[in-house]
Amino acid sequence: MTRKLLKVALLQETHRGSRDANLDAIETGLREAAAAGAELVLLQELHNGPYFCQHESVNEFDLAESIPGHSTARIGKLAEEMKLVVVASLFEKRAAGLYHNTAVVFDRSTNIAGKYRKMHIPDDPAFYEKFYFTPGDLGFDPIDTSVGRLGVLVCWDQWYPEAARLMALAGAELLLYPTAIGWDPNDGQAEKDRQRDAWITVQRGHAVANGVPLLSCNRTGFEADPSGVGAGIQFWGSSFVAGPQGEFLGQAGTDGRQLLVVEIDMARSEHVRRIWPFLRDRRIDAYGDLLRRFRD
């Protein structure tokens, strides 16, 4: 990459009640980001609707859409109009009975520059994603854009150092995570603090270990469990940008919609990797057991 400074924006949003209302809010955010001089905008995970994975219901598959489709056409048109690189996150209907959690990248154009299908799929109370999403089959391949090579991953992927490393080894210059994560309202404050701190810490670690900046955009606001069984989720926002040493370059609050605009010095990655040459010192001859589930 020859550029030095890159201004990015993270649009931390709440669910507005419908796909079109959410897309209207995204349009407003993209226009604000462009007016602020941003060139790259990251949106939150599954931004078109509620986080429906709190329960298992076949009716929720009606929220899925094709790629390309209605949403990609609208977001792509905005990316072209405002000359933005946009990372979107959609519930993809690939075929009847085959669905993915998919990130889509636009490079200042209506054309899709690339996409990534979420590889790690959780199945936990209030996060029943295995019912809805087939694990990704596109691998850990960065997407080339006019602002650099983007290592796009999605939410649960952010807990896995292997995913970040593979993106970095393939030449990713930025790591980006559209995210939907929050608290169980029944948990005590100490547990809530530990969970949020762990989420932030592990991602900062990926930035450090790979010597690249990292962007993580989370949703915010309370969303009830549609089944009425669970307590719902209070999404904790806290979207942030970290530099290649894990340093905070910007962070949003826990509550409420926020457009976080941050300037990244892209030249620092080269400097950091020279003083901390983790890629040089990797013992690739000794890592074979990483391909095992567990060493019994």
Reading the block at residue 253, the tokens are 């609050």
> Contact at 8 Å (CB) between 259 and 10?
yes
For the chain, residues with pLDDT lower than 50 are 1
Whether 296 maps to a domain, the answer reads: no
**CA dist., res. 265 & res. 201, Å (int):** 21
Res 256: pLDDT: 93
> Contact at 8 Å (CB) between 100 and 133?
yes
Res 91: pLDDT: 98
> Burial level of 50, CB count in 10 A (0-12/13-18/19+)?
buried
Q: Which domain range does residue 40 map to?
A: 5-291
Whether 148 maps to a domain, the answer reads: yes
Res 109: pLDDT: 97
- Give the residue numbers marked as catalytic: 45, 118, 155
Number of domains composing the chain: 1
Res 1: pLDDT: 45
Question: CATH no. for residue 284?
Answer: 3.60.110.10
Whether 187 maps to a domain, the answer reads: yes
Res 189: pLDDT: 98
Whether 256 maps to a domain, the answer reads: yes
Whether 109 maps to a domain, the answer reads: yes
pLDDT tens, 24-65? 999 999 999 999 999 999 999 999 999 999 999 999 999 999
Res 24: pLDDT: 98
Q: Is the peptide bond before 68 cis (omega within 30 degrees of 0)?
A: yes
Whether 186 maps to a domain, the answer reads: yes
Res 2: pLDDT: 53
Percentages helix, strand, coil for the chain, rounded to the nearest 5? 30, 30, 40
Region of residue 138 (left: phi > 0; alpha: psi -120 to 50; beta: else):
alpha
